[in-house]
Amino acid sequence: MRDFREFRSKFEGLLAAARKKAALARGAPARRPTRLRELTGFGANPGNLRMFAYAPKDLPPKAPLVIALHGCTQTAAEYDHGTGWSSLADSLGFAVVYPQQQPANNPKNCFSWFLPDDIAPGHGEARSIREMVEHAIATFAADRRKVFVTGLSAGGAMASVMLATYPEVFAGGAIIAGLPYGCASNVQQAFEAMFTEQGHAAQALGDRVRAASRHRGPWPKISVWHGANDPIVRPSNGEEIIRQWANVHGISESPSHHEFIENHARRVWSDANGEALIEAFSISGMMHGVPLATTTGERCGSAGAFFLDVGISSTHHIARFFRLHESLVEMPRAALPVSTTIQIPTDGGALVIAGAAAEGAHSSAEDSVHEGKERQTHYPIDPNAVIAAAFKAAGLPVPEFPRAPPGTPPRVAPGPIIAAALKAAGLLRS
């Protein structure tokens, strides 16, 4: 009990300190109107959760669907404002669902990612979120092959739950400052997993996922994000998530590729065809929160408590990992605000969207569209993306093209093409 009280005191103190620091930095926050609308009657709700959603006006059928899970002390609206997911939905054309915890379930508004009755298929909060997915697919005519889940902290751990309990539902997931599935079954164990080194064997971690459902593959691809200086959820949890899913996918624990983006480390684990199954970002110097870029580069979201401007937009990167840009359609003029140009680099260049909102703006389209102006969206052909798609369609290893510097037109990179061809011929090992 002494250990439990110490863990709880540490947890609550860190949460309060982070919120106080953010409040001092930005002054008294103005009450913001939400872009989200609540959907009721979504189905069975044994977890007693609320459902909020956002979809661009005139969203086309078969658009992707993203489930976004907030962290402790947060609401759906706050998580949307901080991450900027709905702004990106305007640009790329997809729907977002935000499950919201209720204080009656948890006084800190944390999802119950560790309670056995909430993390099993068909039960508790996991079942409630699953019902929201089905309701959203029907409501927005979404493509059930393009359903993804992401979340922060307790929401990230709940994303782990959804990926393990309903792997057939999700094409991919992104876990930010979260924990591996099955690492705790009560509050005491949850605090121990957050604050202490666990060091579970990869096989044991993978077995927990395999035991969560009858599904035997294919498995969702996973994006893992963790601050190197996170005091609330130790960075070792990110490593355990990687080992858990590498074991589930049956791939090596050693990454296929290692690079640095904006001074932050990114590792990639690919299959035999060069398809990225797992990626992991370690954000240099970052504490506990969602990595954002609000002033430079890919601007998205708004800084605040647990939304940290570290010069890299996790929202943009996760969207690329989910390949949401590949579903891009030209949205009707009234659906998008007119502002500055956003460049979304892909693996081989940049997808340029002229007239899309920047800096995570959350004003309505009607407030932003200037009368008498036309919005035009330009989609330059990226030859590297075309080549990569051709390799993939032919069942060949996909070339890993370098990113073009922002503002430069994409050019064919022969090196990755030659390497992929040699690999396909058996003359080059992974």
Rounded Cα–Cα distance for residues 420 and 33 (Å): 49
- A 10 A CB-CB count for 408 gives 9
Nearest to 283 by CA among 223, 330, 332: 223
As a whole number of angstroms, the distance between CA 292 and CA 308 comes to 6
Q: Report yes or no: 151 and 69 within 8 Å, Cβ to Cβ.
A: yes
Contact 44, 231 (CB under 8 A): no
Give whole-number Cα distances, 210 to 58, 80, 141, 249, in Å: 39, 32, 30, 11
The distance from CA 261 to its chain's CA centroid, rounded to whole angstroms, is: 17
| Phi-psi domain of 262 (left: phi exceeds 0; alpha: psi -120 through 50; beta: other) | left
How would you label 122-158 residue by residue, b for 16+ Cβ within 10 Å and e otherwise?
ebbbbbbbbbbbebbbebbebbeebbbbbbbbbbbbb
Contact present, 382 and 413 (Cβ < 8 Å):
no
Residue that is written with structure tokens 């647990």 in the block: 306
DSSP 174-227: EEES---TTS-SSHHHHHHHHHS-----HHHHHHHHHHHSS--S---EEEEEEE
Nearest to 129 by CA among 170, 89, 88: 170
- Please give the Cα distance from 382 to 139 (Å, whole number): 34
153 is catalytic: yes
Spatial contact of 150 and 174, defined as CB atoms under 8 Å apart? yes
In 3-state terms, what secondary structure has residue 127?
A: helix
Residue 192, number of CB atoms within 10 A of its CB: 17
Alpha helices in 197-308 (DSSP H): 202-212, 236-249
Cα–Cα distance, 256 to 414 (Å, whole number):
20
Check 87, 91, 153, 270 and give the catalytic one: 153
Residues with catalytic annotation? 153
